[in-house]
């Protein structure tokens, strides 16, 4: 069985996908890009501003599932420029705490709406 998780506090899906899906004790959060949920537009031009917006969006999707970053098991970060890796790491660390989730970081050619970053995650209701 799977249950859709949705919130107006995070950007609405821009395609045929859910913000998150709960199955059993796991919650799979779709990738978040730095869209301001109030305007539907990119929140900032800088990687710093975009990373903060992505993390705020993920926080809201997790909250809709009654979860926090402490329950995140795995994240995947997509960057259009690996030179942004250090800035993203510093901001990411502010949100996820310790122990940090398992993670992959991948450079991609492009992201929707010309975003510089996208992050997806998997969390557990057991933690």
> Residues 45-101: pLDDT tens digits?
999 999 999 999 999 999 999 999 999 999 999 999 999 999 999 999 999 999 999
- Tokens for 65? 């599932």
Bond preceding residue 126 cis, omega within 30 of 0: no
User: What's the predicted TM-score (pTM) here?
Assistant: 0.96
* Mean pLDDT confidence for 102-107: 98
- Tokens for 102? 């398992």
- Tokens for 90? 């510093």
**Does the 3-124 domain belong in CATH 3.40.50.2300?**
no
DSSP state letters, 5-19: E--TTSPPPSSSS-S
Q: Are 120 and 32 in contact (CB under 8 A)?
A: yes
Residue 56: what pLDDT?
98
Non-local (6+) Cβ contacts of 16 within 8 A are none
- Domain limits of the chain? 3-124
Non-local (6+) Cβ contacts of 49 within 8 A are 34, 43
Residue 127: what pLDDT?
84
Q: What percent of the chain has pLDDT over 70?
A: 100
Write down the residue that tokens 């995650």 correspond to: 121
| Alpha carbon distance 105, 82 (integer Å) | 9
| pLDDT(117) > 90 | yes
């Amino acid at each position: 069985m799977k249950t859709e998780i949705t919130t107006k506090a995070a950007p609405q899906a821009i395609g045929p996908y859910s913000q998150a899906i709960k199955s059993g004790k796991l919650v799979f959060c779709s990738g978040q890009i730095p869209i301001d949920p109030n305007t539907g537009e990119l929140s900032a031009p800088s990687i710093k501003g975009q990373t903060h917006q992505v993390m705020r969006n993920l926080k809201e999707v997790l909250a809709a599932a009654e979860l926090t970053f402490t329950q995140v098991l795995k994240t995947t970060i997509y960057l259009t420029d690996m030179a942004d890796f250090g800035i993203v790491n510093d901001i990411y660390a502010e949100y996820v705490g310790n122990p940090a989730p398992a993670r992959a970081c991948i450079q991609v050619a492009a992201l929707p709406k010309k975003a510089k970053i996208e992050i997806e995650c998997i969390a557990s209701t057991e933690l």
